[in-house]
Structure 1
Amino acid sequence: MKVSHLCITVAASLLLNFSCEKKTAGDSKDKEEAKNMAFTPDWESLGKHNESPQWFKNAKLGIYFHWGLYSVPAFGNEWYPRWMHFKDHKIHKHHVENYGDPSEFGYHDFAPMFKAEHFDAKAWAKLFKNAGAQFAGPVAEHHDGYAMWDSDITPWNTMDTGPKRDITGELETAIKAQGLKFITAFHHAKNLQRATELGKEVSISHYPYFENMPPSSDDPELQLMYGNMEPEKWYKEVWLGKMKEVIDNYHPDIIWFDYVLGDIPEAYRKAFAAYYLNEAALQNQDAVIVRKQHDLPLNMSIEDLEQARKNEIGTKTWMTDATISNGSWCFTNNLGVKTPEDVLHMLIDIVSKNGVLLLNVSPRADGIIPQNQQDVLLKIGDWLKKYGEAIYATEAWYTFGEGPTKEPQGHFKNHKAFMELKYSNKDVRYTTKDYSIYAIIMGQVEPNQHITLTSFAKNNIHDMTSIEQVAFLGSDETIEWTLSEEEGLTLKAPSKPINDMATVIKIVISQ
């Protein structure tokens, strides 16, 4: 029978001991240094962590990927393992027609079918590097309870089933070999089957509890996949245990959390953070923790906005996670993808507001990243190779931009409005670095076109700049320009078009 949700209290001393366990204290540094751990599992101590190290502020673009058992049916979306149990859902109908009733062919039965036979970690890492990403890595575990690493905690992992390979280990080696930082994303806070209310399973439980279905099984192995166990045991041994396992074995530079993290008891969230930050210190890593909702303090974590972004300059570094597709986050048959222009414009808008983009791609179950997704990545990477000085290691200027296109307010609730945004060459976004201001026009500039950047007008900027040079990146033509207090900076574009996706004007000011 499904257990009820228990309110748990964990002694601080137990958590402190758990959070400070190490394989050996001298693995990376001597024992004396290990004794001086900087962080204890309390918010005051954890708040001393620099949540946004300079490398992260400079990075601007990372890539991750939803890839797992849900990639096998390639239907609906990555929530396939949940909706296959609901008889009125199209995914249930698809499952019955193709695999049989979920009581006879459960989600765990996809494990032998997830072969990843064409997976090449080195090729993936090279692709991410060529796309201009500065960090990359997997969704280590989605809501479904399947670990994408060699796990001793659960038999439902890529070494013991499916590919029979340590997917996360191969990716860590390949990605770091390309000089990129390594990210692991976790969604498994939703995996625990929580209490029922009036016979209705709570929305934060990924798997429904239906009699005679695999998620209700008393088989200990199946319980590890479907989260059907006593909560305190699950919190400590499964949720926190898996975090510790990935930290110890793969040393991620970034750990990213999906929503429902707030339903993990606070004591365990503190224990995770102290363990991770102390381990990162032993590895000489400036670690980053990213969260999606109000479940970790912002003085020790980064705010993430799913499929959305700010419509003003962020006072702190923040992140958007968005997918390259127009639909599912995991691969599905006939999955459409965004245009390179739309993805690039999203990146530029985010960077102009002190943000970082985490872009999702959707590999097939066999380990191939579809060519249409690769084409988008490579075209963005080509632009960044030419004009990346306007993106990497930049900051927001006094204004993020000008033009008719305005972003809506809100988080995920407005994600559809964000996905429908289309920028044009009437929209400008600004970044700055040292004594350079970059005006990035969201599209192609017509030859000899006269452009006025009104953000340089005195009424807007207040403190007029002294401009020494104006140039279009990608053109060696001398640019005609004038600076007016009333109108701003007016200039004439080169005689030949430069780029059809976005055009960068570099304005150098006096030191």
Structure 2
Amino acid sequence: MRRSLLSTLILCGVFAGPLASAADQAVQLTHVAGPFAADPASLDKYETPDWFRDAKFGIWSHWGPQAVPRAGDWYARNMYIYGTPQYEHHLKHYGHPSKSGYKDIIPLWKAEKFDPDALMALYAKAGAKYFVSMGVHHDNFDLWDSKYHRWNAVKMGPHRDIVGAWQKAAVKAGLHFGVSEHLGASYGWFGTSHGHDEVFPQLGVPYDGADPQYADLYHPKHDELFGGGHKWYTKDAAYHQEWFNRITDLVTHYKPDLLYTDGGIPFGDTGRTLVANFYNENIKTHGKLEAVYNHKDIGSGEFLRKAGVQDVERGVMNGIQPLPWQTDTSMGDWFYSEGYKYKTTRDVVTMLADIVSKNGNLLLNVVQYPDGSLPPESRKFLDEMAAWIQVNGEAIYGTRPWKTFGEGPTKTEGGAFKENADYTAADIRFTTKGGSVYAITLGEPKGQVRIASLGTKAGLEKRPVKSVSLVGATAPLRWKQQDDALVIDVPASLPTTTASSFKIGF
């Protein structure tokens, strides 16, 4: 869910628990035959496919018309809230939202420099093994040739099938392809468009969301508005039907390997039916289950931990998790924002190592300009990440957690929206593959690296260390396994400076 910390706290306190199943009774659902049914017990039989567990790193294009104003995330909602920075921005650059609203932003999104093949080549070189396209955000604008919705990227804006273009590029580059849907929360989220200013000179003049001719974009006015004690997901069965139809159209048309929902499984049996259908169709396509469904243990809707892969927004988990999971985060703001502080490559690398050591994956939004090209911060990151992963990829891809995720002085807190950590070279994360253990320093090591978890008496490994090498280097290392630690002399020159990976054999 794309939001400020304040609104996140509101969500956590207010939007809890699954929706009543009675809301689903009027929804007409189609069921795809296969081993999965729409009940929790059936979905709990899901097992995460190996491709996802091996991939570790994906890139997301969280991009659409809301990038046009260059004023950040949740623009389509916040531009209708009097006094917010995005309201003031819209008033200054586009006019009052009673006359010039979000509907007038959409035609300005031309995506004229969007080159998915060139971008995908950069993403693959930077180490991404899967790619996720935005399907539809809370702004209710579909980025594909939508069968059920006229507000889509083929009929308006860029007049281009954005999802389809991304899919072709991902397949060409050999990446697994996914889509994200944020539609479930749109019905209340967009309620601000039906409001009005509370002060003169436009006191009481309705915003353009109140105009019936645009009701299919802004949704008809109803009493389930986001905030003020109302739920993230609506209880209105008509909206459940629309959600089911449009997201079914999305996954049926593009057959993604991954589907991301921005919240819990929406709308009770309606959402569970869609997930079961997604899995059953995927089995028909591949001969076995290769699909991943991401949903969150935050907000309303159902969270069924075994039914898919848990997603943690802008945060990590505490310790090694028994089931695979995923962090989703962004290089900068979720949509392009002038002056926003971007993550450094070191931020991303250390986050990736920490997540992988705990049985997780990292899905990273690489910010794009409205025209589809990359800001210099995004391009610099991709180049630097490519250099790091080319050397250290063997310590990441195809690995599994070791006996402990890591050691070091820096303490972190698990959970959503808790991603900032000032790691040092003394903070170490472990992965294992092929009988070897990889120790990744979350900083540039100098002098000596001491690994307490591999001491002969105080450590966790009963087998004596037989070999130690620096991934990416050919020169032998000097090392000694002492009672309290494995001590490695760090060479003067390192293959990578952001973080280093030591391969340890027994």
Runs of 4+ more than 6 Å apart: none
Q: Is the 8 A contact 2:77 2:190 kept in 1?
A: no
Following TM superposition, by how much is the alpha carbon of 1:229 offset from its aligned partner in structure 2, in angstroms? 6.5
Separation of aligned partners in 2, 1:215 and 1:8:
29
Q: Is the 8 A contact 2:470 2:501 kept in 1?
A: yes
Q: Is the 8 A contact 1:480 1:491 kept in 2?
A: yes
Separation of aligned partners in 2, 1:174 and 1:233:
35
Question: Helix, strand or coil: the match of 1:397?
Answer: coil
- Which structure 2 residues correspond to residues 434-473 of structure 1 after superposition, within 5 A? 434-446=434-446, 449-458=447-456, 460-473=458-471
Query: Which digits, 9 at most, give the CA deviation of each residue in 1:295-346, with x for residues without a partner?
Result: 2311111111111101311121111111111xx2111223331111111111
Query: Which digits, 9 at most, give the CA deviation of each residue in 1:71-104, with x for residues without a partner?
Result: 11111x2211111111121211111111111010
Q: Which residue in 2 is equivalent to 1:87? A: 82
Unaligned stretches of 5+ residues in structure 1: 21-35, 194-203
Alignment partner of 1:296 out of 303, 306, 310:
303
Q: Which residue in 2 is equivalent to 1:69? A: 65
Q: Which residue in 1 is equivalent to 2:243? A: 239
Q: Which residue in 1 is equivalent to 2:500? A: 503
Question: Helix, strand or coil: the match of 1:478?
Answer: coil
- Matched to 2:239, the amino acid is W
Please, which moves more after superposition, 329-338 or 249-258? 329-338
- Matched to 1:162, the amino acid is G
Question: Helix, strand or coil: the match of 2:105?
Answer: helix
- Which structure 2 residues correspond to residues 14-53 of structure 1 after superposition, within 5 A? 14-15=28-29, 18-20=30-32, 37-50=34-47, 52-53=48-49
Separation of aligned partners in 2, 1:269 and 1:307:
24
Separation of aligned partners in 1, 2:472 and 2:20:
62
Q: Which residue in 1 is equivalent to 2:217? A: 225
CA shift in 2, pair 1:385/1:142, >3 Å:
same
Separation of aligned partners in 1, 2:84 and 2:68:
18
Following TM superposition, by how much is the alpha carbon of 1:458 offset from its aligned partner in structure 2, in angstroms? 4.7
CA shift in 2, pair 1:96/1:477, >3 Å:
same
Structure 1 residue 132 corresponds to structure 2 residue 127: yes
- Matched to 2:450, the amino acid is T
Identity %: 31
Question: Helix, strand or coil: the match of 1:73?
Answer: coil
Structure 1 residue 475 corresponds to structure 2 residue 460: no
Q: Is the 8 A contact 2:480 2:486 kept in 1?
A: yes
CA shift in 2, pair 1:460/1:487, >3 Å:
closer
Query: Which digits, 9 at most, give the CA deviation of each residue in 1:36-91, with x for residues without a partner?
Result: 622222222222222x111111111001022111111111x221111111112121
Structure 1 residue 114 corresponds to structure 2 residue 121: no
Q: Is the 8 A contact 2:110 2:157 kept in 1?
A: yes
CA shift in 2, pair 1:301/1:372, >3 Å:
same
Separation of aligned partners in 2, 1:162 and 1:460:
62
Alignment partner of 1:142 out of 121, 137, 146:
137
CA shift in 2, pair 1:127/1:85, >3 Å:
same
- Matched to 1:444, the amino acid is E
Q: Is the 8 A contact 1:143 1:206 kept in 2?
A: no
Following TM superposition, by how much is the alpha carbon of 1:265 offset from its aligned partner in structure 2, in angstroms? 2.1
- Matched to 1:480, the amino acid is R
Alignment partner of 1:54 out of 50, 53, 59:
50
Query: Which digits, 9 at most, give the CA deviation of each residue in 1:392-430, with x for residues without a partner?
Result: 011111111111111113323xx3xx33x2212121111
Query: Which digits, 9 at most, give the CA deviation of each residue in 1:214-251, with x for residues without a partner?
Result: 323322xx222213278322211x21111111111111
- TM superposition score normalised by structure 1: 0.86
Separation of aligned partners in 2, 1:132 and 1:453:
27
CA shift in 2, pair 1:462/1:356, >3 Å:
closer
Alignment partner of 1:342 out of 341, 347, 358:
347
Q: Which residue in 1 is equivalent to 2:273? A: 271
- Matched to 1:215, the amino acid is G
Following TM superposition, by how much is the alpha carbon of 1:462 offset from its aligned partner in structure 2, in angstroms? 4.5
CA shift in 2, pair 1:268/1:141, >3 Å:
same
Separation of aligned partners in 2, 1:466 and 1:91:
60
Question: Helix, strand or coil: the match of 2:440?
Answer: strand
Query: Which digits, 9 at most, give the CA deviation of each residue in 1:92-117, with x for residues without a partner?
Result: 11111111110101101112111001
Could you say what the CA RMSD is over the residues aligned between the two structures, in angstroms? 2.1
Query: Which digits, 9 at most, give the CA deviation of each residue in 1:9-59, with x for residues without a partner?
Result: 4459953xx133xxxxxxxxxxxxxxx622222222222222x11111111
- TM superposition score normalised by structure 2: 0.87
Q: Is the 8 A contact 1:192 1:229 kept in 2?
A: no
Separation of aligned partners in 2, 1:309 and 1:206:
32
Following TM superposition, by how much is the alpha carbon of 1:461 offset from its aligned partner in structure 2, in angstroms? 3.4
Structure 1 residue 99 corresponds to structure 2 residue 94: yes
- Matched to 2:437, the amino acid is I
Q: Which residue in 1 is equivalent to 2:11? A: none
Question: Helix, strand or coil: the match of 1:160?
Answer: coil
- Matched to 1:216, the amino acid is A
Separation of aligned partners in 2, 1:93 and 1:205:
18
Q: Which residue in 1 is equivalent to 2:194? A: 209
Aligned residue pair count: 461
- Matched to 1:286, the amino acid is E
Unaligned stretches of 5+ residues in structure 2: 1-18, 197-205, 223-235
